[in-house]
Amino acid sequence: MIDDIIKNDKEAYNEIVLEGHWGWLVNTMLSRTEGDDWKVYVFMTRWAKGDLAGRIIEAFPDEVEVITYKAIQDDGSMLCESVLTRHDFELKTKEMNPDIVEANYNQQPIDVKGRLFTEFTEYETLPAGERKRRNYTDTADTGADFLCSVFYDEVDGDVYVTDVVMTDDAMETTEQLVADRLDADQVNEAVFESNNGGRGFSRKVERLLKERGNRKCVINAVPQTGNKEARILTSSAWVGKHVFMPRGWKQKFPEFAKQLLSYQKKGKNKHDDAPDVLAAIYEAVANPQKSGFRVRTAD
């Protein structure tokens, strides 16, 4: 039996802690069960969509029975007056963070309430009009990071994502992969973050393009020195309104979608590569004078 494995909101906001719970379950605890008639009982407040209960429900949908109790029932009555009366509930929650109320008393995962992005508008076909075919790439700078390369059309100040390369493969693989997509998608301008090996990455991609006779794609390498979290939060309202995804994008780009739709406004995020790239695209499209981007002519 597992009882209240998450102790507070700080753990609920921490993806590293949640990942540790899951690793302990699948790598340690389950290996200690015997026979075919074992059962695991998990008693916990649903703090986060990716908490232990959520991961179990997702991974073993046919083997799980979910029982949910809310303090206040759908008809307005209290679950158990002898434990928590309406007056007691209202007193305790009067000054409580609404996210904590939802988690503690209504089994509403806290990270659903705290997500920076909830959904993106999807498009069926690209709009008519003059368009700029662009790309922004953030190379993986640590072992835990993903290369995130977003291909998009800019039309009348809006961004239509057309393709995404998101992988944690080695650079010798991703350099060729990004070059192939830039060529196939006929991208006019590609911007690479020059931090942590990005400049060398962009030069290799540029050389690969020239080897296949592509001199139309202008490659720029720019440094990114701003605070990442602040940039993501600042750009989020614009991104939510002006960035459009292709129909079925969550299935086409699963890791990209996972990072965007799980990113928390506050607390630790295990990965931020996807929202960071959209923040950079915001700067390039909506704030080009402040972005630091400089277009040079192709050789």
Position 240 scores a pLDDT of: 93
Q: Which residue has the tokens 């074992």?
A: 38
What share of the chain in percent tops pLDDT 90? 51
For residue 123, what pLDDT is reported? 96
47-61 confidence digits (pLDDT tens): 777 889 999 998 999
Quote the CA–CA distance of 140 and 2 in Å, as a whole number.
37
Q: How confident is the model at residue 104 (pLDDT cuts 50, 70, 90)?
A: confident
Determine the average pLDDT of the residues in 257-262: 85
User: What's the mean pLDDT in 218-229?
Assistant: 85
Bridge partners (DSSP) listed for residue 293: none
Residue 298 has pLDDT above 50, yes or no: no
The full set of domain ranges for the chain reads: 2-113, 122-291
Q: Are 252 and 233 in contact (CB under 8 A)?
A: no
Question: In angstroms, how far is the first alpha carbon of the chain from the final one?
Answer: 66
CA distance 70 to 193: 47
State the pLDDT confidence band at 289, using cuts at 50, 70 and 90.
Answer: low
- What average pLDDT does the segment 170-188 reach? 91
Query: What integer pLDDT is reported at residue 141 of this predicted model?
Result: 59
Residues 148 and 274 sit within 8 Å (Cβ to Cβ): yes
The two structure tokens encoding residue 163: 């393709």
The arithmetic mean of pLDDT across residues 116-128, rounded, is 91
The three-class DSSP label of residue 138 is strand
Residue 41 has pLDDT above 60, yes or no: yes
| pLDDT on residue 215 | 86
Give the model confidence (pLDDT) of 1-10 as tens digits: 999 998 877 7
Q: Give, in degrees to the nearest 5, the angle at Cα 15 between 11 and 19.
A: 100
Buried b (16+ CB within 10 A) or exposed e, 172-201: eebbeebbebbbebebbbbbbbbeeebbeb
The region of weakest confidence among 19-33, 60-74, 142-156 is 142-156
Looking at the chain, list the stretches that DSSP marks H as alpha helix, in order from N- to C-terminal side.
Answer: 9-12, 15-24, 52-59, 86-93, 98-106, 110-113, 171-184, 198-211, 228-242, 249-252, 254-262, 273-286, 288-291
Q: For residue 131, which phi and psi values (nearest 5 degrees)? A: -130, 150
Predicted local distance difference test score (pLDDT) of residue 99: 67
- For the chain, the average pLDDT equals 86
Tell me, what's the pLDDT at 295?
A: 42
For residue 94, what are the β-bridge partners? Answer: none
Find the helix packing angle between 228-242 and 273-286, rounded to 10°: 70
Helix (H, G, I), strand (E, B) or coil at 190: strand
Question: Cα angle at 275 between 248 and 129, to 5 degrees?
Answer: 60
Residues 125-157 have pLDDT tens digits of 999 888 889 999 998 755 557 899 999 999 999
Q: Report the greatest alpha carbon distance in the chain.
A: 78
Mean pLDDT of 183-197: 89
Strand partners, 189: 134, 218
Residue 160 has pLDDT above 90, yes or no: yes
What is the C-alpha separation between 227 and 284, in angstroms, rounded? 16
Model pLDDT, residue 28: 94
What pLDDT is attached to residue 292?
A: 45
Answer whether residue 190 shows pLDDT above 90: yes
| 216-to-188, 286, 299 alpha-carbon distances in Å | 6, 24, 10
If we measure between CA atoms, which residue out of 123, 155, 153, 122 comes closest to residue 136? 153
* Matching CATH number, 122-291, of 3.30.420.240, 3.40.1390.10, 3.40.640.10, 3.90.1280.10: 3.30.420.240
Coil vs helix vs strand at 145? coil
